[in-house]
Amino acid sequence: MKIAYLGPQSSFTDLAVKKAFPEEETLPFTTIPDCIEAVMDGEVDYAVVPLENALEGSVHITVDYLFHEADLAIVAELTSAIQQHLMVHPDWKDQPGQPEKIMSHPHALAQCHKFLRGTYKGVPLEQSTSTSAGAKFVSEHPESFLGAIGNELAAEHYGLAILHDHIHDVTYNHTRFIVLHKKHREVSIPHETSLHKTTLMVTLPKDRSGALHQVLSAFAWRQLNLSKIESRPLKTGLGDYFFLIDVDHELDDVLLPGAINEMEALGCSVKLVGHYPSFMLS
């Protein structure tokens, strides 16, 4: 079984994949569309890509590509805490003073803003294209005292020593990743779960005032809880949207099919993107 993931190696997606599929062969791809296309072309069996981050919001390229370009099913959701560490080349581990500069992806630098300002005030920060690109650069320049911010996998992969662990400013930062396959199937993931979700993409009939309210009524009167609703442009004109809707309920024989049938009878088009278990990776 082969699994595509959003690379490079030691990215946060790689870390989530290693926890969920410890035994499988994995393959990094440069972009999210590349990961999705690899499943569609049959080059891999599954793809794992980020869908949403607690601070940044949805990853639009994932949502838009699944709506406009790809016909794949979400077969599992993986939620992972984003934990950042400051790492240096092992030769510099016991060096007093401050590194010449600290490198990482702009998001990671932003996530550690308070720590950096408190402990390393005045040390220049340099942006890298990914957290692991920063770690790679540090590993290749042992002659200089440099720091990189990234996850534990990057430290391990590039042989760096962690100088300060868990330096991210907020503890509630999580990312949701989705596992994609050509069609619905059960996947075996060695973690416990009791939560099942169903994801729909709904396009409303044009110019009908209150259509979104009608759609939400179909869920509300069945007490189907929505954990997310998000609008994205249809790319046909300003004010034309589709809605990504996550329902905290597994696809049953009565309630969800009833809601979907009603929405379609109201003139909506509904795409069932997946019904799947949700795993919190420790």
Which residues lie near its own copies (CB under 8 A)? 52-57, 60, 79, 172, 174, 176, 209-210, 212-213, 216-217, 219-220, 223, 225-233, 235-241
Give least dist CB 145 to its own copies, A.
32
Integer Cα distance of 259 and 206 in angstroms: 20
Give least dist CB 24 to its own copies, A.
26
Nearer to its own copies, 148 or 245 (CB): 245
Give least dist CB 150 to its own copies, A.
21
- Give the residue among 191, 150, 192 at the shortest CA–CA distance from 167: 150
Nearer to its own copies, 123 or 170 (CB): 170
- Please state at what angle helix 60-68 crosses helix 32-40, rounded to 10 degrees: 30
Nearer to its own copies, 127 or 225 (CB): 225
Integer Cα distance of 246 and 228 in angstroms: 5
CA 226 distance to own-chain centroid: 19
Nearer to its own copies, 67 or 115 (CB): 67
Give least dist CB 238 to its own copies, A.
4
For residue 247, count other CB atoms closer than 10 A to its CB: 23
Give least dist CB 213 to its own copies, A.
4
- Three-class SS of residue 39? helix
Nearer to its own copies, 93 or 166 (CB): 166
269 touches 202 (CB < 8 A): yes
Integer Cα distance of 72 and 65 in angstroms: 10
